[in-house]
Amino acid sequence: MEQDFWKKQLKYFIVKHPNFQGDQIEEEIFTPYKGLKIRFWFEGNLQIEGEYGTLEINYNSPYLLVLATRSDNVDNTFRIPWNRLISFELITGDEASQKLKKLVRLN
């Protein structure tokens, strides 16, 4: 299943989203590590990117990748079939740790 493939590829670069930890509802919602931006590329040249706390990666649907981007003014939610995902890009920022930068280079 495509969801399993992409989850295995992403697991090294994401953490549980701080806004959803300890909730009563069993949600699988993640966000990139601090200092890391992830850009998802989909068919049709759709690009969705975000960083720690502003990008919600939701694994609750086996058929759809649900991505939500949050900022002070705008909240966007995208529900895209897993088979439309082409790749994801890892972009390290200044606050990324040396360990994270090394991990991005190795994987």
Query: pLDDT tens digits, residue range 52-105?
Result: 999 999 988 889 999 999 988 889 999 999 999 999 999 998 888 888 888 888
38 contacts 56 by C-beta, under 8 angstroms: no
85 contacts 67 by C-beta, under 8 angstroms: no
Backbone angles phi, psi at 68, to 5 degrees: -125, 130
pTM reported for the whole predicted model: 0.87
Residue 73 makes CB contacts below 8 A (sequence gap 6+) with none
CATH number of this structure's domain 2-106, picked from the four choices 2.60.40, 3.40.50, 1.25.40, 2.30.30: 2.30.30
- Work out the angle at residue 43's Cα, subtended by the Cα atoms of residues 30 and 96, and round it to the nearest 5 degrees: 35
Residue 97: the pLDDT is 86
What are 15's strand-pairing partners?
31
Interatomic CA distance for residues 93 and 5, integer angstroms: 26
Indicate if the pLDDT at residue 107 is higher than 70: no
Residue 23: the pLDDT is 56
Residue 27: the pLDDT is 73
